[in-house]
């Protein structure tokens, strides 16, 4: 919900279409914007995406490897067990999960 007066101004001309474009801001925004910049907010008021390239970083077949967050007690136990066996935590977790998958598949 917008409160307060809005103002618009012509900011420039779009490189692609040649049409002028405007931004709309609240009357008191520039002062607030400066306060945010002092707090470390690196955002600009406006960004020009007219020369952007869609899908520039898209890679066909790329796999996302999500992080796994363990409870502290579980992590401590697994780290101690991996150290006792002389293997990495990742190897231990993968081995345990593969065994669980085998048990689940055997029960089907």
Averaged pLDDT, groups of 10, the chain, 108 residues long = 48 66 55 58 83 91 90 96 96 96 92
Model's pTM, two decimal places? 0.46
At residue 37, the pLDDT reads 57
Which tens digits make up the pLDDT trace of 31-49?
A: 555 555 566 667 788 888 8
| Separation between Cα atoms, residue 26 and residue 101, nearest integer Å | 57
CB 36 within 8 A of CB 19: no
- Domain borders along the chain are 7-38, 72-106
| Separation between Cα atoms, residue 32 and residue 5, nearest integer Å | 15
């Amino acid at each position: 919900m917008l409160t307060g007066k809005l103002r618009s101004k012509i900011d420039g001309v779009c490189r692609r279409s040649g049409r002028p474009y405007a931004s709309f801001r609240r009357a008191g925004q520039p002062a607030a914007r400066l306060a945010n910049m002092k707090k470390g907010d690196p955002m600009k008021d406006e960004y020009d995406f007219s020369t952007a390239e869609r899908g520039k970083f898209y890679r066909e077949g790329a796999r996302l490897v999500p992080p796994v967050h363990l409870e502290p007690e579980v992590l401590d136990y697994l780290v101690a067990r991996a150290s006792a066996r002389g293997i990495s935590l990742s190897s231990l977790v993968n081995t345990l999960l593969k065994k669980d998958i085998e048990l689940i598949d055997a029960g089907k």
